[in-house]
């Protein structure tokens, strides 16, 4: 009786960190499945749509709102106590007193040099579109729907930026209007209470406000 040699099947290779009961990795099969799935994605979007998408300019958002699920837990922790910067909390009743002080601070800055005041208006108007794009989920009905809304937005941004620069300023003439500095420091750090750096950089370059480094 002759012996029939059995065909030997190679044993599956398991990785060292495989757990018991896991099937061996069939790399060829995995690669095939991934290739097929990616090709389906590739052809699922018409060419004209993909080209249009790629040509769209990227939105330059840099200031974001706090997710609702976080606000629902501790809403007051994400709101300014003393002063608002930018559109998200502008107009809140408990911030009205500081809003008046911000305007007085701006008056001090503007009266020093009428030419600088006109230059501020001219230069900020040139970056107005960038300022809009900086804010995530901005209320365009409130801030952009017509000339009055846009003027209100631009005015707010100028006043807020001047106030923030004065807060860090070396000049005590401007800072005489600012009190409750510890509360203001806290509000400056809030995520929803920010101003675009581009605006601050612009106003600093053309105004007489000299900023010093302040340890918060």
Give the three-state DSSP class for 185: helix
- Cα–Cα distance measured from residue 210 to residue 215, given in angstroms and rounded to the nearest whole number: 16
- pLDDT tens column, 153-171: 999 999 999 999 999 887 7
How many angstroms separate the CA atoms of 42 and 52, rounded?
15
Query: Would you kindly state where each structural domain of the chain is located, as residue ranges?
Result: 25-56, 68-206
Which residues in the chain come in under a pLDDT of 50? 53, 213-216
Crossing angle of helices 147-167 and 181-188, in 10° steps, is 120
| Predicted structure pTM score | 0.72
């Amino acid at each position: 009786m002759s012996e029939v040699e059995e065909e030997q099947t190679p044993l599956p290779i398991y990785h060292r960190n495989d757990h018991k009961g896991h099937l061996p990795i069939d790399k060829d099969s995995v690669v095939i499945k991934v290739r097929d799935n990616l090709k389906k994605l590739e052809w699922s979007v018409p060419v004209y749509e993909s080209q249009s998408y790629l040509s769209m300019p990227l939105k330059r958002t840099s200031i974001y709102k706090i997710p609702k699920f976080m606000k629902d837990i501790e809403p007051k922790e994400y709101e300014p106590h003393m002063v608002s910067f930018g559109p998200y909390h502008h107009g809140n009743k408990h911030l009205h007193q500081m809003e008046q002080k911000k305007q007085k601070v701006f008056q001090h800055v503007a009266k020093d040099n009428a030419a600088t005041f006109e230059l501020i208006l001219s230069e900020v108007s040139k970056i107005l579109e960038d300022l809009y794009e900086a804010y995530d989920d901005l209320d365009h009905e409130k801030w952009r729907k017509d000339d009055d809304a846009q003027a209100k937005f631009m005015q707010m941004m100028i006043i807020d930026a001047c106030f923030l620069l004065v807060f860090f300023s070396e000049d005590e003439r401007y800072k005489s209007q600012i009190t409750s500095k510890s509360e203001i420091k806290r509000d400056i750090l809030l995520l929803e209470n920010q101003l675009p750096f581009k605006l601050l950089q612009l106003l600093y370059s053309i105004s007489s406000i000299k900023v010093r480094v302040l340890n918060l």
